């Protein structure tokens, strides 16, 4: 079974803090994705990566950056957290471009 894990289920940070969200997959998948999910807005793609050290902007990259130093790990970074970044963050991975994306359990981030 594919397993995608995220470092925290719940996280509370203060405005201006730097925040790291970690995601690890154990299936040697090429592609990894970061989404945020908000009521009424559905899932929105922040960034994705199709290879180590490669990254592509999604629909809403502003205020975020990512890092993929190893194939199995994809990190989402909030350089200076703001209250409008309070959300559920979901990581996903897929074997290739035309394959199913498998999701992690999500991290509920609250920025005070």
Partner 1 sequence: GESVGLHLPTLSVQEGDNSIINCAYSNSASDYFIWYKQESGKGPQFIIDIRSNMDKRQGQRVTVLLNKTVKHLSLQIAATQPGDSAVYFCAEILSGYSTLTFGKGTMLLVSP
| SS3 assignment, position 80 | coil
- Rounded CA gap, 95 and 108, in Å? 26
- 76 burial (CB, 10 Å; 0-12 / 13-18 / 19+) is buried
Q: Does 60 bind partner 1 (CB under 8 A)?
A: no
Q: Does 7 bind partner 1 (CB under 8 A)?
A: no
Of 42, 62, 69, 84, the residue at the interface with partner 1 (CB under 8 A) is 42
Of 21, 24, 33, 36, the residue at the interface with partner 1 (CB under 8 A) is 33
State both tokens at 59. Answer: 């629909």
- Rounded CA gap, 103 and 112, in Å? 26
Cβ of residue 16: shortest distance to partner 1, in angstroms?
25
Q: Does 100 bind partner 1 (CB under 8 A)?
A: yes
Q: Which residues bind partner 1 (CB under 8 A)?
A: 4, 31, 33, 37, 39-40, 42-43, 45, 48, 50, 58, 88, 90, 94, 96-98, 100-106, 108
């Amino acid at each position: 079974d594919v397993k995608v894990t995220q470092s925290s289920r719940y996280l509370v940070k203060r405005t201006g803090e730097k925040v790291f969200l970690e995601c690890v997959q154990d299936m040697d998948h090429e592609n990894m994705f970061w989404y945020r999910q908000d009521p009424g807005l559905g899932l929105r793609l922040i960034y994705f990566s199709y290879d180590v050290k490669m990254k592509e902007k999604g629909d809403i990259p502003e205020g975020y950056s990512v890092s993929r130093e190893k194939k199995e790990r994809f990190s989402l970074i909030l350089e200076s957290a703001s209250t409008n970044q309070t959300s559920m963050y979901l990581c996903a991975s897929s074997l290739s471009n035309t394959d199913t994306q498998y999701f992690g359990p999500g991290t509920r981030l609250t920025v005070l």
